[in-house]
Amino acid sequence: MPSRDDIKKSLTDSFKGAIVKMEQPIDSRLFVDIHKEKVREISNAIVKMGGRYQVSIGYDNIARDKTLGLVHAFAFDRENLFLLLRTSAPADAPVFDSITPDIPNAGWSEREYQDLLGMKFTGHPKPKRLILADDWPAGVYPLRKEIPWNLMPPAAEDVAYQLDEAPAGCTTVPVGPFHPTLHEPAHFAVFVDGETIKGCDYRGFMTHRGIEKLCQTQVSYNEIPFIAERICGICGSVHATAYSQAAEMAFGMKISRRAEYIRTIMLEIERIHSHLLWLGVAGHLIGFDTVFMQAWRVREPVMWLGERITGNRKTYGMIVIGGVRRDITPEVKEDILNVIKKIETELMTIHKAIAGDSAIHKRTKGVGALTREQVIDWSLVGPVARARNVDIDARRDLPYAAYDDMKFSVPVVDTMDVWGTVVVRILETFEAISIIRQALDKMPNDGPILTPVTEEIPPLAHAISSIEAPRGESVHYIITGENENRPERWRVRAPTYPNLQGVPAMMMNNQLADVPIIIGSIDPCFSCTDRMMLVDMQSGKAKEVSGKELEELSRKLTTGR
């Protein structure tokens, strides 16, 4: 693996003409401004050096220099280095070279900016609509600054997404948007030959809520952690912490060590409950409801613990810019230790009871197989990658909060299938318990839990932060605003975003009956409803309610007019 300086040197040597400037505001963040012609070439060189593609960030810079900016973020896991490749194109011809042919995971990010910012990517293998609704008018790019946050274009009823054609000889089986195995709406068109899956097309983003636009136009820095927390019902603290860390980095401030420890403890408590939740759901998906009931029974004390520490059982509302809101007192510490001790023994009981059960082995072993190379090519993250012998974990590789003080092992297995993700998640829960014990033990006793922002916030400062959520790596990117007390751009990449792109590869050549557990194995997090049906109970007639009627109805109900 090349060192930080080697990476820097090799980039400057090979692409002298293309690099405009290099910036390194702190040691672990390297911003490289390049000409857009060389994007694909330099990205390939970075991946060859060992960089892992994370996400792309597009932003509107029209007001300043009439350009649209694009950042490709890469992480060098062994070097603790984020490499951010910044480029831009004039707004009247925002054409970039697509990096998707070489880095397939960039596919969604590029389609996203095609929808939201009107960028064009030459050479993209599948330039279909990704995020916007099917009836959203072409040519209106909602993330551009001239479009108001509450724009509601007229709805169209007769537009439909054109799913991919099924391969010759295959039948399409639709799974979703509403399906018992999916807890949130997403549509998978699964192409089957008999019972064997031969491919799949995905249409999601049915509940795209435009949180990024909302936060860029309406609320202020201090309110965003609470909105960020609601991005995900399971890993709320993760998003709030990732946002707060990115903001703190952009502001150039440091928070107290004690606050960092408390954040670490909250993140690990969240990991315990998330993994137990997943274990239950996975058991349910394969028809093993004993696991479902017992895992959730064991999980409940963690929820009550969260309620006692933070005042709410899930959306903790604990993390804000500058630190945390509530302290961990000696009594709370005692409470946490008791709860995790109980969980440790009970989880061990579950582990022993299911580890030898042939039912769970038969349903998960060899299912959703991927090779190590495929995982690296697709830049998959979290337990999905660690179950396939890819040793990455942001807590150890790109340390944040107090993880640099913690000693823990990263469970990696090489079963290459869904069984591996079960093992990794159970082992990680035990690691999380050990991390909480260490953190409570080593936590400094003094220091404010909340550091106020006293310095002027630098305008247009870029910062990136990543957090190892229970499902994988969460990445937040911030560009601070000018004059306004809110970010100019805030990009969130949840771990499901890359992992869902790997699902078609995981499903390939599996049985149709395994679809639920394969989708479930990445612990997917889509997000609510956009249509409903009214049935007249007396006549039994069903009547479709159009979007417009529904909207009027709900307005009447909520405003009383």
Judged by CB under 8 A, the chain residues 426 through 485 that form the site for other proteins are 484
Instruction: Copy the structure tokens of residue 396.
Output: 């150890």
Nearer to other proteins by Cβ, of 174 and 194: the residue is: 174
Both structure tokens of 290: 């004993």
Do 286 and 360 meet the contact criterion of CB atoms below 8 Å apart? yes
Q: Quick check: 354 binds other proteins (CB under 8 A)?
A: yes
The DSSP letter of residue 450 is B
User: Does residue 218 interact with other proteins by CB under 8 A?
Assistant: yes
Q: Which of 311, 444, 458, 459 binds other proteins (CB under 8 A)?
A: 311
Q: How far is CA 338 from CA 3, 296, 448, in A?
A: 43, 18, 26
Could you tell me the smallest distance in angstroms from the CB atom of residue 367 to other proteins? 19
92 is a site residue for other proteins (CB under 8 A): no
Number of residues binding to other proteins, judged by CB under 8 A: 55
Question: Which amino acid makes up residue 49?
Answer: M
Q: In this complex, which beta carbon is closest to other proteins, that of residue 1 or of residue 353?
A: 353
CB of 282 to other proteins, least distance (A): 16
Strand order in the sheet with 462-469: 462-469, 472-479, 489-493
Choose the stretch contacting other proteins; rule: CB under 8 A; options: 264-272, 312-320, 452-460, 469-477: 312-320
Contacts of 233 (CB under 8 A, 6+ apart): 314, 315
Q: Does 294 bind other proteins (CB under 8 A)?
A: yes
Cα of 42 vs its chain's centroid, Å: 25
Residue 219, interface with other proteins (CB under 8 A)? Answer: yes
Write the interaction track for other proteins spanning residues 359-378; mark x where CB under 8 A is met and - where it is not. Answer: x-------------------
Q: Determine the Cα angle at 305 with ends 228 and 274, to 5°.
A: 55
Tell me 1's DSSP state: -
Phi/psi of residue 7, each to 5°?
-60, -45
**Residue-wise burial string across 436-470, b where 16 or more C-beta atoms lie within 10 A, e elsewhere:** bbbbbeebeeeeebebeeeeebeeebbbbbbbbbb
Q: In this structure, are residues 58 and 119 in contact, taking their beta carbons and an 8 Å threshold?
A: yes
**Binder to other proteins among 14, 24, 122, 312 (CB under 8 A)?**
312
Regarding 172 and contact with other proteins (CB under 8 A), the answer is no
Binding mask of the shown chain, residues 227 to 256, with x at each position contacting other proteins by CB under 8 A: x--x--------------------------
CA atoms within 13 A on the CB side of 221: 23
What contacts 24+ positions apart, CB below 8 Å, involve 441-446?
442/261, 442/402, 442/405, 443/258, 443/261, 443/262, 443/265, 443/328, 444/257, 444/258, 444/261, 445/258, 446/258
d(CA 266, CA 326): 11
Q: Select from 80, 181, 207, 222 the one that contacts other proteins (CB under 8 A).
A: 222
Q: Does 162 bind other proteins (CB under 8 A)?
A: yes
Q: 493 - beta bridge partners? A: 475
Task: Single out the segment in contact with other proteins by CB under 8 A; choices: 34-42, 49-57, 211-219, 276-284.
Answer: 211-219
Q: Which member of 317, 366, 399, 547 binds other proteins (CB under 8 A)?
A: 317
Instruction: Tell me if 554 contacts other proteins by CB under 8 A.
Output: no
Among 297, 341, 372, 556, binds other proteins (CB under 8 A): 297
Asked if 139 is part of the footprint of other proteins (rule: CB under 8 A), the reply reads yes
Contact 525, 471 (CB under 8 A): yes
- Residues between 481 and 510 that touch other proteins (CB under 8 A): 484
Site for other proteins in 387-416 (CB under 8 A): none
Binding window for other proteins (CB under 8 A); candidates: 117-125, 357-365, 432-440, 512-520: 357-365
Sole window of 202-210, 348-356, 429-437, 534-542 interacting with other proteins (rule: CB under 8 A): 348-356
Region of 134-142, 246-254, 268-276, 425-433 interacting with other proteins (CB under 8 A): 134-142
For other proteins, which residue of 17, 137, 330, 540 counts as binding (CB under 8 A)? 137
Rounded to an integer, what distance in angstroms lies between the CA atom of residue 111 and that of residue 124?
9
Which residues, other chains included, contact 254 with Cβ-Cβ below 8 Å and sequence gap of 6+? 248, 451
- Within residues 262-291, the interface with other proteins by CB under 8 A covers 290
Residues interacting with other proteins, by CB under 8 A?
135, 137-140, 145-148, 151, 153-154, 156, 158-160, 162, 217-219, 222-224, 226-227, 230, 290, 293-294, 297, 300, 304, 307-308, 310-312, 315, 317, 325-326, 349-350, 352-359, 484, 558-559, 561
